[in-house]
């Protein structure tokens, strides 16, 4: 069963797994995990360069922007203005218009500031950015972001880095049903079954970082996630059976011995 | 006005000595930074890459140079 390609902001991708590049031991491990995951889109953070340590290697030396679509994020931004400024700077590095917009509303939960996210999305879309907003799993907010012109919506499964898995599959189902843009579950995935569940629900993709980078063996987990996203997508397309309360026998009821 | 004020900029939030007005491209070279890996703001205005050669960093300027790091 040939999958349709995954279209995002006018670009086509084969992999539906988007991976982050944070929390790895070093760039070599980052590169190995990204390769093993099969991801074609990788998120990066935007930070001040280290002035005192000038000989330092650059992340892009390990993740060639010609091979990977680089997706700069606005992690750490608590206001729309900070997020907008970060996106403008990120674009000037020269890796395209795609940005992961996140405006954090609370330090402990890292839940999004929905009002500020909407405000920043409006400005960024007008400036030609292809905005992928990280957002609460709220169907109405996802609709609003879609109306604004975001190229995807990225509802969280659970708090960032929590590994709690999909806390509200029913809201996600509504978001997926209403969406005209790709729905990408972003944040909260803990293990392969969480990623598969997201895809079985009908999500277009899954974005994760900690679940891979924080695993005991990140390279093995990267492969597990690749397979889980593929398996979940295939199961979704195959069409699962209905849930029933009682058993239905798998073997014929006729021709029994005796 | 003391020399130390007249001959320094604020670079990524910290004072950074600059002997004279300097082309941005020279500052980047001195810092061993490749133009394809960074983006620059001077006094909150983004400097397009095409203008790196023509842009002069002057005393008192607030310069931000960013790059990409690991993140999720």
Per-residue model confidence as pLDDT tens digits over A125-179: 999 999 999 999 999 999 999 999 999 999 999 999 999 999 999 999 999 999 9
Point out the residue among B34, B39, B72 whose CB comes nearest to the CB of A92. Answer: B39
For β-strands A130-135 and A154-155, DSSP reports them as: parallel
Condensed to tens digits (0 to 9), the pLDDT of residues A87-100 reads 999 999 999 999 99
* pLDDT on residue A1: 75
Asked whether the beta carbons of A100 and A74 are under 8 A apart, the reply is: yes
Residue B37 and residue A54: Cα distance in Å, rounded?
13
Residues in A closer than 8 angstroms to B52, CB to CB, are: none
Tokens of residue A28, six digits: 């070599």
State residue A171 phi and psi, 5-degree precision. -65, -40
Tell whether the model's pLDDT for residue B7 goes beyond 80.
no
- pLDDT, average across residues B47-69: 95
Name the A residues in 46-85 with CB < 8 Å from any B CB.
Answer: 46-49, 51, 54-55, 58-60, 70, 72-73, 75, 85
SS3 (DSSP) at A91: helix
Q: Do A48 and B40 touch (CB under 8 A)?
A: no
Bigger pLDDT: A52 vs A247: A247
Residue A242 and residue A225: Cα distance in Å, rounded?
26
Q: Which element (helix H / strand E) includes B51?
A: none
Condensed to tens digits (0 to 9), the pLDDT of residues A215-256 reads 999 999 999 999 999 999 999 999 999 999 999 999 999 999
Q: Do B70 and A24 touch (CB under 8 A)?
A: yes
B32 has a chain A CB within 8 A of its CB: yes
**pLDDT above 90 coverage of chain A, percent:** 94
Determine which of A21, A32, A49 to mutate to test the interface with B (most B C-beta atoms within 10 Å): A49
- pLDDT, average across residues A24-47: 97
B37 has a chain A CB within 8 A of its CB: yes
Residues in A closer than 8 angstroms to B44, CB to CB, are: 85
Residue A112 and residue A114: Cα distance in Å, rounded?
6
């Amino acid at each position: 069963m040939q999958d349709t390609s995954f279209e995002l902001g006018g670009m086509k991708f084969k992999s539906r797994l988007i991976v982050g590049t944070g929390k790895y031991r070093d760039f070599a491990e980052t590169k190995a995990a990204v390769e093993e995951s099969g991801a074609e889109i990788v998120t990066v953070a935007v930070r001040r360069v280290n002035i005192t340590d000038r000989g330092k290697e650059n992340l892009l030396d390990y993740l060639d922007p010609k091979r990977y679509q680089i997706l700069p994020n606005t992690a750490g931004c608590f206001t729309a203005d900070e997020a907008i400024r970060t996106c403008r700077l990120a674009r000037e590095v020269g890796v395209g218009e795609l940005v992961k917009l996140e405006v954090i509303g609370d330090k402990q939960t890292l839940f999004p500031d929905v009002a500020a996210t909407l405000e920043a999305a409006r400005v960024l879309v007008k400036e030609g950015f292809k905005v992928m907003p990280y957002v609460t799993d709220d169907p109405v907010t996802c609709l609003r972001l879609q109306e604004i012109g975001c190229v995807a919506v990225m509802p969280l499964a659970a708090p960032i880095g929590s590994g709690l898995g999909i806390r509200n599959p029913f809201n996600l189902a509504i978001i997926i049903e209403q969406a005209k843009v790709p729905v990408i579950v972003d944040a909260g995935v803990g293990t392969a079954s969480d990623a598969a569940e997201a895809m079985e629900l009908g999500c277009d993709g899954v974005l994760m970082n900690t679940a891979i980078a924080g695993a005991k063996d990140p390279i093995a987990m990267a492969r597990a996630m690749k397979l889980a996203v593929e398996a979940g997508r295939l199961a979704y397309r195959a069409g699962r059976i209905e849930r029933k309360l009682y058993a239905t026998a798998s073997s014929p009821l006729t021709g029994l011995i005796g | 006005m003391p020399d130390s004020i007249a001959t320094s900029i604020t670079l990524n939030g910290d004072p950074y000595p600059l002997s004279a007005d300097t082309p941005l491209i020279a500052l980047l070279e001195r810092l061993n930074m490749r133009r394809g890996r960074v983006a620059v703001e001077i006094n909150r205005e983004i400097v397009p890459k095409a203008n790196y050669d023509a842009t002069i960093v002057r005393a008192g300027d607030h310069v931000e140079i960013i790059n990409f790091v690991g993140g999720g």
